[in-house]
Amino acid sequence: MIRKVLLGLGAAVLLIVAILVIAISVRWDRRFEAPYPKLAPSRDPAVLARGRYLAYGPAHCSDCHTAPADYASLQTGSSPSLSGGVEFPIPLGTIRVPNLTPDSATGIGRRSDGDITRLLRYGVRADGRAAIPFMEYHELSDADIVAVISFLRSQPPVRHAVPDHALNLLGKAVMAFAIKPIGPSGTPPAESPASGPTLERGAYLVTAVAACAGCHTQRSMVTGQYTGPRLAGGSPMEAADNAHTKLVPPDITGNPGTGRAAMWTEDEFVARFRAGVRIPGSPMPWQAFQRITDDDLRAIYRYVRSVRGS
């Protein structure tokens, strides 16, 4: 009798596993709909310069999209091509960062402006799959998206084929059931707040451009959702050079006693960013943020100092 029950149970478990595996294989590369924003690139030199500043500075596209062989030159202040190829081994599999140069076979020469804009704003890839959520640019203004794409299109093409991600069964399961494209919370602005050390500009840089909260806020390891007060300190992260070293993104708000912006003067904050990386292997893209202008750093300081909550 017990044997029969166990056999029946075993068969039921096998059936459930089989159904799950089939569901994963059918659903993992499901396609999503999202609008194609109508934004056209420009050749205006001022727009290209703004795009370069964003890509190698506050928006730190360079931090992920530089080829591994060029990373050392990026660290010393150069701006090598964004030809991709970095691999992130995460529990879902190996995530590979694509080539952003205009090469027509291996880079964004294959993509329309609509494809790129839709990915940055709505998290949907050119093939309709949800992007692995590494990029948080959903709230970028139209003008800044145009600036970045115009700059990327103006660069020399580099032929560098980067294969797509290699997702394992867990990765495919997560793609099948958990990951959905992330879009903006409202309608992103047409223009960015004007340059100058204002709170408004700082809020935009911190939230829409530099993704400071993504690291400096505690979040669920499963869903990625914020579980702690915004910018008041994040979850421990592995150092790039040693997985055993855990670095904790500190509270960067104006919280008395704990917040970096409360502990530091504006000039100290600017000087800290000018100095660049201090803790080897820090995941914070210091080399990119080192290139942020004084005015923008002051805007960031004034904004994070205005944030409270613990």
- The residues that touch ligand HEC, with contacts defined as CB under 6 A, are 55, 59-61, 63-65, 95, 97-98, 100, 108, 111, 116, 119, 125-126, 131-132, 134-135, 137, 148, 206, 210-212, 214-216, 237, 247, 249-250, 252, 260, 272, 278-279, 282-284, 289, 300, 304
C-beta of residue 200 within 8 angstroms of C-beta of residue 194: no
The least distance separating ligand HEC from the CB of residue 286, rounded to whole angstroms, comes to 6
Comparison of 1 and 127: residue with beta carbon closer to ligand HEC? 127
Residue closer to ligand HEC (CB basis): 48 or 97: 97
CA atoms within 13 A on the CB side of 194: 1
- Least separation in angstroms between CB 68 and ligand HEC: 13
d(CA 153, CA 286): 26
Give the bridge partners for 135, in sequence order. Answer: none
At a CB cut-off of 8 Å and minimum separation 6, what does 185 contact?
A: 138, 139
**Closer of 24 and 107 to ligand HEC (Cβ):** 107
Phi first, then psi: what are they for 242, rounded to 5°?
-160, 105
CB 223, min distance to ligand HEC, A:
18
CA-wise closest residue to 103 among 60, 47, 153: 153
In the bound complex, what is the minimum distance in angstroms from residue 124's beta carbon to ligand HEC?
A: 10
Q: How far is the CB of 45 from ligand HEC (least distance, A)?
A: 19
Smaller CB separation from ligand HEC, 229 or 250:
250
Task: With beta carbons less than 8 A apart as the criterion, state whether 219 and 270 touch.
Answer: no
Any idea what DSSP says for residue 58?
T
Contact 221, 174 (CB under 8 A): no
* CB of 33 or CB of 127, closer to ligand HEC: 127
